[in-house]
Structure 1
């Protein structure tokens, strides 16, 4: 029966959220559990309305006033498939690593500017995390380099051979504040939220997320995420 599959997926979600919150079945209804989980987990926030709709549908399908509870309706197959997909995403949300694992070419502020220029030509990269020792100094972008070039031309000439990454990095008006570090355990939904400025805030949106083991800037870079990478949710969910 479709209803049995629906109830199985619903119970998987309910059990998982209660485990996350350490709440047993004797406390709180499903909608309240969703609200509590949404305060802590981005994937639940993303689908909170859908989860509550499925909760209401579950109550329409199951007659709880009798014991044992009796199924009194059968959901459409596409509804069953939808809750099964959602259960998979809620229980096993896609992680930024290894999804966005890639080589990240790292610079030191004292490196010659010719180094990233060569990488731009060879690899067509446009963003390079720059460090001062183990400390993050900013994101060198093709925009920074273009502004450095324009200012150099306006003030007497371009000395690429003598220029350093720090020279071009000074043209980042945000001073590296448009970059955040995330741990490899972060979910796709965590990343999507970080790229979305909070309501009522006038802060600039992030340009990139850098993935490290635990989200610290002094760790090896495991990958990089840009807003373009997150245009479409995984698993065909919206």
Structure 2
């Protein structure tokens, strides 16, 4: 059986389904766009019949594809962990949606790298270093010496990129169950989405490939909806984001 939500206030049962519907709709739109964007990118058309320019190795387009693929992979991993640690239907459904959406987007990003003839891993390339470059190879966009963490964010000790969980946090999630697993997952995924939104906003500003910019903006919109949903779910469990 699902655990009690911990929120018995009038209207709580109505608010969460409505918020979840909004988040779910954003996820569905992101998936529909992802399918169209893959076809567009595969044809090499940037719109209006103009052939798209292949991104350079260290361009924001390529860097975002590499880094977000790694970022998404951890979200998928955490979602599969919590699915087996709770019977709460709302958390399990959210985890399924996040895993499904981000696995599909990850496949797109890696597929674009293949289409562009670019490697999925570049030795010696710092994570998110592309956020301090312009669309030209190795050029800088005037971010005041930004080394790639963007929006003032920095990865916490033991984490590869901003928002990502550490090995110790993943081990805690794997060892938790019931409400403890639900709260920790929602807190970790909130951090994860906040880091992902900052990165996607960077691509929406800097990437030169139109379909990739649009996909990045779709990620921003969908993950912001899920952030609202997760804050509500945490309140129902007497908890809050980790701030």
Report the TM-score, using the length of structure 2 for normalisation. Answer: 0.28
Q: Which gives a bigger RCO, structure 1 or 2 (Cα 8 Å, sep 6+)?
A: 2
Between structures 1 and 2, the one with greater helix share: 2
Which structure's CA Rg is the greater one? 1
Q: Which has the higher strand share?
A: 1
